[in-house]
Amino acid sequence: MHVVQPGQTLWRIARAYDIPLDKLAEVNGIENPARVDVGTPIFIPGARATLDVAAYPAPLPFERPSAAVHPGPSADFLWPVDGGAFMRPFGEPRRHHVHAGVDIRGARGQDILAAKDGVVAFCGGTKTGYGTMVVLDHGDGVQTLYAHAQKVLVRQGEAVRRGEAIALMGRTGNATTEHCHFEIRLENHAVDPMPYLLGTTEAHR
């Protein structure tokens, strides 16, 4: 049994135990996988031990991309803000952390676009500096994160296509101006998004 802890989602639990989300929901009689109360005991079929499932979004270690996890030059990620100007780079030192993505300027209420086909792993407000955000899972350990949104336009578990509007530009969380903080995560480690974006005509510094 896995007891749901604060900040954990059924999707995160299913991923940690390597079991399909719909199967986990079915065996536990959960009608709405997007809403699981803290303290709920979840039966994990086939599990031999209880795993430590990090709350979402989990704190991420700073890590440069390596050949072992780099998806290669065929990774064609769309610049997530049409016409958006590059603001802040990956790896920029901050007071208590290192910048884990790139910041892209845009107009309030402007569409934030999915960088690649994927499934919505998380969407909504957070109590972290990210503010309101969307996280897409693209499979093979690859995720993208879009933070500081004014409003989300998708639902958890929804499949989205590359270029589809998933949120509206805002300045929620630790943001001093309207922009999109964009991350690419490989196996839950933040990496510099620019090598994955520079192969597209939409990416501009």
Q: What is the pLDDT of residues 115-160, one digit of tens each?
A: 999 999 999 988 778 889 999 999 888 899 999 999 999 999 999 9
Q: Report the CATH number of the 2-42 domain.
A: 3.10.350.10
Pick the CATH number of 86-197 from 2.70.70.10, 1.10.287.130, 1.10.510.10, 2.40.10.10: 2.70.70.10
Pairs from 66-73 (Cβ < 8 Å, separation ≥ 24):
69/141, 69/186, 69/187, 69/189, 69/191, 70/186, 70/195, 71/140, 71/142, 71/186, 71/196, 73/199
Boundaries of every domain in the chain:
2-42, 86-197
Q: Phi and psi for 23 in degrees, rounded to 5? A: -70, -45
* Cα separation, 142 vs 37, whole angstroms: 27
Cα 181 from Cα 179, distance rounded (Å):
7
Q: pTM (2 decimals)?
A: 0.64
